[in-house]
Amino acid sequence: MSPSSQSGSFCKGCTTTVHVSEEEIRQLIGSVARIRSVKLTTEEEYDRRMQACRSCEAFQFGTTCRWCGCLMEIKAKLQTSSCPSPAGSRW
């Protein structure tokens, strides 16, 4: 299906679908976790961050922050990441 036939489901910049499966997210998290220099947050902090995202109006497609375009299940795992909301960081 072409991007133009499903406007709103594709990235405007690269025409790749913005929908990401749970399996793809699990694989990406595994890849990030194997990078030695990347520090991950605690499970408690990760849950707190994802709870904030899931209740946020900027959380789109069940995966992505509209402000930074990041997959939040991955970004929220990174110890030094933060919420980019222009209204004030939520975590």
Question: Which stretches of the chain bind ligand SF4, using CB under 6 A?
Answer: 52-53, 56, 58-59, 65, 67, 72, 83, 85, 90
Least Å from the CB of residue 39 to ligand SF4: 18
Q: Which residue(s) pair with 37 in the sheet?
A: none
Backbone angles phi, psi at 27, to 5 degrees: -65, -40
Considering the complex, state which of residue 46 and residue 59 has its C-beta at the smaller distance from ligand SF4.
Answer: 59
CA nearest neighbour of 23 among 69, 68, 70, 63: 63
Are the C-beta atoms of 83 and 52 separated by less than 8 Å? Answer: yes
How many whole angstroms separate alpha carbon 91 and alpha carbon 81? 9
Considering the complex, state which of residue 61 and residue 67 has its C-beta at the smaller distance from ligand SF4.
Answer: 67
Least Å from the CB of residue 1 to ligand SF4: 27
Least Å from the CB of residue 62 to ligand SF4: 11
